[in-house]
Amino acid sequence: MAELNLVEAVNHALAYEMANDESVLLLGEDIGVNGGVFRATNGLQARFGCERVIDTPLAEGAIAGVAVGMAAMGLKPVAEIQFTGFIYPTIDQMINHASRLRNRTRGRLTCPMVLRSPYGAGIHAPEHHSESPEAIFAHMPGLRVVIPSSPARAYGLLLAAMRDPDPVVFLEPTRLYRLFKQAVADDGESLPLDACFLSREGKDVTLVAWGAMMQETLAAADALEQEGVDAEVIDVATIKPLDVETILRSVEKTGRCVIIHEAPRTAGFGAEIAAEIAERALFSLLAPVKRVAAYDVVVPLSRLERQYIPSVDRIVEAVRSAMEGS
């Protein structure tokens, strides 16, 4: 079993599915000859040819639009947007066409496309390279929004996304691309979409996170253990549709919940999770639900980047506050 980092796992998943399904093809800026800005598609054009790994002009709206057309005609395009700061021109195609093709045609057509993009801060990138827009896409009916938190989950979830008959927005945490390696079996086994993963069991408080923030959240759980607090950690993985039942079961067990995400706090997806808990598990709570999020500002440049991303200390402090409730 190979030890892969997250971007290598993405590459392996793409290669596996292309080798086993001729309808899968890739398109995006610099993904062919150069193998993508992060090398996620490295070597795939040489292996599968220019007709299946297509270099496109610098036109994100056109990339998404072409992918919608390909999907409507029976292909399975995987479109890459270089950074999520440039993903906003795709919203027209995703909300007006990709997300509603099944409904518009009363089920005659589906849109089996994947829109991939690195996302999030933490690599000292320039402006427009570090955004976390998962809540925007989660608000669009008809789209799945998937965010892996490790190489193994990136491999299995991307395979599932490519096999899904409907459009999937697949956001890859840039900060994790080469942060660590993990044993990944390149066997074509997918992981379930629309399901949270229980990453750590505990009994005192539920920590809910996704993507790169799983790193700080698990580190916070380790730190809290030294203080005698047994934290349960849930990796949301699929933001939309949300596996709220797994979160509710955990909250009903622990009585406390802290939600952690890298996107701005206001109207972030943490607010949706907090609302679900308030509506359906209020009487299980021993303390108010806490949110630890980024600030409601534009993602800062590199010097202030670490102050923007929720830290282990901020998570631990939020849990301490939650533990004071009774």
Distance CA 240, CA 242 (A): 5
Q: What is the pLDDT of residues 241-295, one digit of tens each?
A: 999 999 999 999 999 999 999 999 999 999 999 999 999 999 999 999 999 999 9
CA angle 179, 212, 262 (to 5 degrees): 140
User: 120: closest CA among 85, 157, 156?
Assistant: 85
pLDDT for the residue 122:
87
pLDDT for the residue 196:
98
For 187, the token pair is 């066997």
Within 10 angstroms of residue 307's Cβ, the number of other Cβ atoms is 10
Residues ≥6 apart with Cβ < 8 Å to 72 = 101, 109, 111
45, 32 contact by CB (below 8 A): yes
The yes-or-no answer on residue 12 being catalytic is no
What's the rounded Cα separation, in Å, for the pair 112 and 17? 14
Q: Select which of 12, 97, 129, 261 is catalytic.
A: 129
Q: Is-contact 130 299, C-beta < 8 A?
A: yes
Residues of the chain with pLDDT under 70: 325-326
- CA dihedral 53→164→277→149, nearest 10 degrees, is -40
Query: Residue 88, SS3?
Result: helix
